[in-house]
Structure 1
Amino acid sequence: MTQLTVLFLPESAYGPTNQCIGLGDLLLKRGHRVVFASESSWAGKLAPLGFEERLVDLAEPDPDAGEEDAGKFWTDFIAETAPEFRKSTTEQLSTFVLPTYQALIDGAKYAEPALRKILADVRPDVVVEDNVVLFPALTTSGAPFVRIVSCNPLEVPGPGVAPGLSGLAQDQPETWPPFREELDRTHRELWESFNAWVVEQGAAPLPELEFMPRENAANLYVFPEEADYVAERPLDGSWTRMDSSVRLTDEEYVVPPAVADRPADSALVYLSLGSLGGADVELMQRLVDVLATTRHRYIVSKGPQADRITLPDNMVGEQTLPQTKVIPQVDLVITHGGNNTTTEALHFGKPMVLLPLFWDQYDNAQRMDELGFGIRLATYAFADEELTGAIDRLLADTDLRAALAATGERIRARDGLRVGADVIERVGLEHAASRA
């Protein structure tokens, strides 16, 4: 077997990075060299897993700053803009989505010179990006480029599917045009500017109003077949679906006796708003306080402001938890609808209560609700009894729980992590052979 050099560039948040860690770990076990070009706050976090680290700044470093938590920029960004999440998805296009794209683009532009140097030094056989904006150094390096969509697959638009980031229903196409018109109005100028810069760097023009290319050596996306949109929006042969991508690097998790020892009518529930959503302390504390009134027991991923969240006696929790080892042991998941958590819950056959905050979380929450895999609630406007009632209805629905358990078995059998690693390996081997 030829040893490949695979370079990953994930977006700096935990979701995309964990997605790439899962794939990179499998490639590493196959004997390949795996390099992460990661934002500088990830320094020292990836090398212990066996990866090479090549750090990239996305902005001018602060010489007075100490060591930062991994992904701190986005944690702070989300915490500061949390009031925007109370607005509709259409309103958020100008007040949250546009500034987010601008921040991502600013980072890509700042990183371009350093990233070109890294690529020249590493000389990868294949480069893999998991992000929502292109770093053109990756597509102009001479190595084949693999795109990962680890958001909801509505990130790839089409006329037969609801617009991405809208949270609109598939069976209500009459609601789609106003959102699309507002997207065009708010994002057209930014896209034109970014596309012009991408072309200046030597990369191909981007698709209309899209910030990532489609014409790549391969495209991967993470979403189970049972929830996919391919009937309404077919994808060409460059796309491979990874039904799930459950990393194997999480440590084991033993459920603490405080919640493991519970009455027969008490379920065990996992609560997580993700590494970014957990920064909204007010929302997290409200959820905890409402859930404290129930008979159930809870494992809580408290997020980056863990020390500000007080847990009652029917809960245990930490700032971060080995989620892929927690979910198999619970009966239900309360989630923000991030793509990792949503697909991992389906991978293990668990029903969900979904409280979306931003980005594709609305799309995932809507999809799970319209397919009957979970219940979507209004994140900031739900009544206490809506949350507790949703939990009890899902737990009492034995037919749904049996169907989800069977769905999880099918998803696990399709082994999406291996599927994705196979695609990356194939692309790399073809390039290595041509370079020999």
Structure 2
Amino acid sequence: MTPRNAQTRKTTRGAWPVARVLRDRDAGLYLAGVVVSGFGTSALWLASGVWVKDLTGSDGLAALCMLAMWAPTLVGPVLGTLADRVRRRPLLIATNLLLAVLLLSLFAVDSPDALWLLFAVLFVYGAAGVVHDAAESALVAAVVDPRLLGDFNGLRMSAGEGMKLVAPLAGAGVYAAYGGASVAALDAATFVLATGLYAALRVREAPPGRPAANWRRRTAEGARYLWGRPRLRPLVVAGGVMMLCAGVCGPTVYAVVESLGHSPTYAGVLYACQGAGSVAVGLLAGPALRRLGERRFAAAGIALLAVAVAVRAVPYDTVALASGAAAGAGMPAVLIAALTAVQHETPGPLLGRVTATANSLIFLPNVLGLAAGAALVETVGLPLLLPTLGGVLLATAVALVAAPRTPSGTCAGRP
């Protein structure tokens, strides 16, 4: 893969982070593709659960939509090997077109008997998403100037969180007016548009070499590399602990709303504050990473989240709104830092597998945390549960800063 040329690098110096990324043609196109496809995904995420609820009246079956989309993360390291076996841009294009065609099959879902098709599509959607994220991370590392990776990943987070504020409302409106299949068609259209943006990228990729090992060994190579890098391992472990605590905290939101004396719909206000915080930290992530480094930036975010979670037990609206914004600002820090470190530290031929393994180790604890939180919120009061979670998060931040440091090296195969 070709590195960015010297002229491009010169034009990115001294500019505000957004301008630094958008001045780079390929980085701007890539970010636009992320925004477009993220809009469709966020719209479908909400509509699929509402669709199942309307057809069956079952909250449990509606919750299975999220499970179907998350389940492929369990085999993320295996799926990530595909991103290292073929050229990444054609893989992204093929994945988007496959999902666009697959989503149109949901026009056949018009009764509870056809729900198996919806769950099957969502499962494939989740599996394709794992492959897509791994290939995307690897291609970004080749397309984007290495000095812009922190800025790009931060802006990507801001764009994703911004879509979560806008797209569910748009999806709900389309669903109310035209039904669930129309939301699927909207998502399919966003995949087609994103395909055009990816196709416009100016990147030359050499075909990957013939693998010297079977898929089991190739999968293990990614996991061994990740776990054997002292610069990456603490970030991934800290990210997993953070997502575990965030998962436990998630089911408490309605208990918090009840303690404030509001109806359950007030949770939407708290989520909006959280999204606003995530958008803000994404815009600042690039400069913060350059000033603090990945580990201190991640630790600062986890510490901010620790305070936000602990004070949420205080039953005042202003405290709840401020803690929501602080939590939204704190959570993405370790995710941005870990992804940027993986992209900087990992050789190109391994990057798909390492990214997929890191994502699995970070995000799977969130699923376990959600299950644990659903049980704990019924048995442990908020004044005990939330400060305890805050304490665990604060200890994680301290441990991350205190972990032995190693100098950053240049990886073979990286531009």
TM-score by length of 2: 0.33
TM-score by length of 1: 0.32
Task: Say which structure, 1 or 2, has more relative contact order (CA 8 Å, 6+ apart).
Answer: 2
More helix by share: 2
